[in-house]
Amino acid sequence: MEDPTAAQGILKTSAEKRIMNSASVPPEDCIFCKIAARKLTSYMVYEDETCMAFLDTAPFSKGHTLVCPKQHGETVWDMDGAEIGGLFALASRISKAVVSVVDADGFRFVQNNGEAANQVVAHVHVHVIPVRLADKGRFMDRKRFTAEEMNSVAASIREKIAEVV
């Protein structure tokens, strides 16, 4: 029997709590699952058997990268501790390359779970957002970069990741 909460975008994570996300879709319709399956293009900077990292197409800054597992899950509650640890370890490695390539002064990890937390794509992901000291305390707006700029940054991050341990 189909779960009626699924049509409402409510993710069942435990008997005690449900996370609302109107962006909930089955894996075959998930944009990140489509990227993992190569059904959609992306500015991929890293990929292994379980995870991938690619540039955000509506970034807060140059080099803003999304790191996510290939396996579909909507929130970190859908992952075990080792998977969460692996995802953040990879995000840390990616952050070193991103900060170096864009000459940032720091970076943010942002990981949203559910619509109330501003999760737009209902697939677990960590934002790696490089920041500059000059922007400290300022509201961050989404930026636009040309395909040429995105390709160039992605290529540089891919090269740098190979050097980062």
Catalytic residues: 125
CA distance 127 to 22: 20
Tell me the residue type at 65: T
Closest C-alpha among 101, 106, 108, 32 to residue 63 = 101
Closest C-alpha among 11, 4, 2 to residue 123 = 11
The two tokens of residue 14 are 């435990």
Q: Alpha helix locations (H) across the chain?
A: 4-7, 31-36, 81-102, 147-163
